[in-house]
Amino acid sequence: MIITSNRTNYINSIHGKTGDLTFETINKLIKERERDAWFSFIQENIENTGSSDTNVHIVEIQDILIKKLNQSMSKLISNDYEDPYSQVCQYLGVFIDIVKNQDKLGSYQSGKLIRLAKSLMAIL
């Protein structure tokens, strides 16, 4: 899987700063892209959850989970990829709670989404 991410309105974007090759800038970009990749990977797994199931309830659960995941990502981006008060972890905790309470997902799918969310929380 290849993930690209471009931020045109990102306040600390290095777009147009071709001379900024400092260790700090490069390290920050690597961390940002790693987090972006985790969010994309989790979203892809949500979308693949119950992909053979046309149950309206599964689609609703997917929509709720993607909304919570997007709230987490938006909070992380708005905080310049910093999480000083663990707000993003709180959103991901709500995401995990929602997954745990969905018996329609099945234990394998629920367990996988929970592991992915916890792995993301560990790198924040």
In a domain, 3, yes or no: no
In a domain, 4, yes or no: no
Task: Judge whether 43 lies within some domain.
Answer: yes
pLDDT, tens digit, for every residue of 72-116? 998 888 876 776 667 888 889 999 999 998 887 888 889 999 999
Per the structure, the count of domains in the chain is: 1
Contact 38, 123 (CB under 8 A): yes
- The answer as to whether 1 is a domain residue is no
- Asked whether residue 59 is domain-assigned, the answer is yes
**Structural domain contains residue 61:** yes
Q: Cβ(34)–Cβ(122) under 8 Å?
A: no
Question: pTM for the complete prediction?
Answer: 0.75
Residue 115 is part of which domain span? 23-123
At a CB cut-off of 8 Å and minimum separation 6, what does 123 contact?
Answer: 31, 34, 35, 38
- Over residues 21-42, the pLDDT tens digits come to 788 888 888 888 898 999 999 9
- Does residue 18 lie within any of the structural domains? no
Q: Look at residue 104 and tell me if it is in a domain.
A: yes
DSSP summary character for residue 29: H
